[in-house]
Structure formats: C-alpha cells, structure tokens
Amino acid sequence: MALNKLALIRYKTIDDCLRNRARKWTLENLIEKVSEALYEYEGILDGVSKRTLQLDLQTMRSDKLYSAPIIVTEKKFYTYEDPKFSITQSKLTAADVQKMNEVVGILKHLNGFNHFGEMSEMIAKLENNLHRNRTEGHNIIQFESNALLRGLDWIDPLYKAIAARRALQIEYRSFKARDAKQGIYYPYLLKEYRNRWFLITKLKHKNHLLTLALDRIEGVQELPREPFITHPSVDFDHYFDNVIGVTKSEHDRAVKVILEVSPKMKPYILTKPLHSSQMVLNDQEDKTILQIEVVPNFELEREILGFGPELKVLSPRLLVKRVTAALRAAMGLYETPNQGDLPITKTDH
C-alpha cells in the first residue's frame, strides 16, 4: 500500500493523539488536530473531512498497514486498546521497504558529492534497518546507543521551532536545581555530543547563550505570539569549530594546548585526532608533541584525563594545574585500601 506525504502526516498525527491517554479523543478532536498538522506542515487551509479521517482510522486498523488496535469507548472516544502501541514501532510494509530502498539508492549516489559527503553513517543505518526488516535477522552493523537516554522526544519539536524561528516556553531543571523553572527561550541550534543532545539557545532578557541538555527538559511549548529574537553576532555553523564537547560561550576564545603523547598512545591519537586543529610539533622515538587549538572546558579536561599516564599537558599553565589537581584528587581515593575488593576481569581491546 503506497502512502503519500499527506496520508503519513494524518496517520502520524492520529497516532500522537491516541498515544496521549491523558485526554479523551472524539472524532471531532482528531479532525481538529489533523487539520492543524496539515496547515503547519503543508499550509493546507481546508483541513480534513470527516469521511477522510474515518477512512484513515480504518486504514490504520488494516493488517495491510499498521494493524493498529484502535477501539471506541463510550461510543464516541477513540483510543488504542494497547496503551504501548504506536505506528512508529510497526514493521515496514513491502511498499515502505521498496520506497526506502529507492531513497537509499539516491543517498548512496549523492554521497559521492562534496555537499553530501557526511551521509555514510546515515546510509549504513538505513541499510541495516532495511536488512533486518527483510530478513528479520540480527544487526550487520551496531551503532552506539543508550536505551536509557532521555529527552530524544524533544528533538522534533525543537527542530521545528528552530526552522520556523519560533520562541519557546521551556520547563528546565538543571542538575543543581531541586525544581524545574520555566522561561521564554529563543532556540538556535541542536547539537549532539557523545550520543547526548543539547539545545543552544538564549533566555529572554539575557544576552548570553545557554546550552540546555535535552534530558533535563521537562516541557516545551511554542509561543507563536512571542517575537523571535535572532543572534546575528554568532555564526552557528561554526560555533563549535574551536571546542571539544558543548561547553562554551560566544565570548570564549581558543588557546593553544600543547600535549606530550607516549609512544604507546601515539598511533591511537594520530589516527583519531582529539580535534580537527591537531598538528604534530615534534615527533621523537620516546615521545610526540602535539598541539590543538581549542577553548579550555570541562570536556577537554575529561578527554585528557581519560588517557591517564599516556598523555601529559605541557601548556597552558592553568590547564596543567587543573589536570594535576584532578589527578591528585583521584589518587586520594585510592590511598586507603578498600575492604572486600572484587576481582577485576581483564579484557583485551
């Protein structure tokens, strides 16, 4: 069963409504929500007819598509019989697989062009998922993931708000705060770092940029009547060029960090540079001196500490002091032997 774009928008909107069990959904409620979605995504003013929505519900129930367990309660309220059901978890239909194969073919062709040269990972993920769907077998390729990671549901509404330049009311609770706080934010950029997502934004009546972790966001609401404030002094395409991680402000400046690398760690750090600015200053048999030009921050310190005795900071002096203090504090944890230590299993990487 081939699906067009408008049908997919309708099905996804209906699915979002029926999964929201905090509200009871009549046919009129669903028509209203679907009409809003069609206007938002496609600019369609006519909305959706009652007959079309009834056919959509019937189609979603069909085993040729989603086999959605849609039931009617009290003779007027629509819901899923299985509260955990979602069409997003359903297996792809044969038509879906065919369309996806066509898309993958186009993407593989475009991947050879400069403007699309960063799609290899996405193509591999798509091909792996299509393979699993066709064969119901195991993964051929396994990507880093965290099943316990929170906040991924915010990516879509935040992306749309950034694209539409919409102000947001965000309810956010930092690690240091006991309770969540609400504020009006202007979103500018979504950033992923080590499988965790962040929003680069500005709070109303504040001048500096903030980095909000999506897993600490507890609520997002668009504010269409709130004027959107741009941040023209920052080029967000290159905002993170001079940083490892996500911790920085628009006023931070990169410094030259000089590192001494052991012969043991040299092949790893040369094949996987710490930063795109990495360059070799001196390569000797017993040590290699590298330079990176980055903003000093928490993630840089954590990266350096992760190499243990195989990497030494030579400059700047402040970074040397911070890393030295962290290593001394870590040593203090082991000065008193623990009682009842568990055996450590060695692994060969």
User: Helix/strand/coil (H, E, C) string of the chain?
Assistant: CCCCHHHHHHHHHHHHHHHCCCCCECHHHHHHHHHHHHHHHHCCCCCCCHHHHHHHHHHHHCCCCCCCCEEEECCCEEEECCCCCCHHHCCCCHHHHHHHHHHHHHHHHHCCCHHHCCCHHHHHHHHHHHHHHHHCCCCCCCCCCCCCCCCHHHHHHHHHHHHHCCEEEEEECCCCCCCCEEEEEEEEEEEEECCEEEEEEEECCCCCEEEEEHHHEEEEEEECCCCCCCCCCCCCCCCCCCCCCCCCCCCCCCEEEEEEECCCCHHHHHHCCCCCCCEEEEECCCCEEEEEEECCCHHHHHHHHCCHHHEEEEECHHHHHHHHHHHHHHHHCCCCCCCCCCCCCCCCC
Decide if 154 contacts 217 (C-beta within 8 A): yes
Which pLDDT value is given to residue 188?
96
CB atoms within 10 A of CB 164: 12
Q: pLDDT-derived band of residue 1, with 50, 70 and 90 as boundaries?
A: very low
| CA separation, residue 264 to residues 258, 261, 287, 306 (Å) | 18, 8, 9, 14
Q: pLDDT-derived band of residue 195, with 50, 70 and 90 as boundaries?
A: confident
Which pLDDT value is given to residue 147?
62
Query: Is 117 a residue whose pLDDT tops 60?
Result: no
Q: Closest by alpha carbon to 193, among 147, 234, 243?
A: 243
Angle between helix 5-19 and helix 27-42 axes, rounded to 10 deg:
130
Pairwise CA distance, residues 190 & 201, whole Å = 9
Q: Closest by alpha carbon to 74, among 112, 138, 27?
A: 27
Q: pLDDT-derived band of residue 2, with 50, 70 and 90 as boundaries?
A: very low
Q: pLDDT-derived band of residue 253, with 50, 70 and 90 as boundaries?
A: very high
65 or 211, which is more confident? 211
Which pLDDT value is given to residue 232?
86
- Average the pLDDT over 260-286 and give the result: 95
Query: Is 344 a residue whose pLDDT tops 60?
Result: no
Residue 78: strand pairing partners = 25, 72
Tokens standing for residue 178:
């006991």
Backbone φ and ψ of 143, nearest 5°? -100, 160
Pairwise CA distance, residues 144 & 166, whole Å = 32
CA atoms within 13 A on the CB side of 322: 15
Over the chain, what is the mean pLDDT? Answer: 85
Pairwise CA distance, residues 288 & 282, whole Å = 6
The CA angle 53-58-63, to the nearest 5 degrees, is 140
Which pLDDT value is given to residue 228?
95
Which pLDDT value is given to residue 41?
81
Query: Is 349 a residue whose pLDDT tops 60?
Result: no
Query: Is 183 a residue whose pLDDT tops 80?
Result: yes
- Average the pLDDT over 320-337 and give the result: 90
- Average the pLDDT over 15-30 and give the result: 92
- Overall residue count recorded for the chain in this entry: 349
- Average the pLDDT over 325-337 and give the result: 88
Query: Is 52 a residue whose pLDDT tops 80?
Result: yes
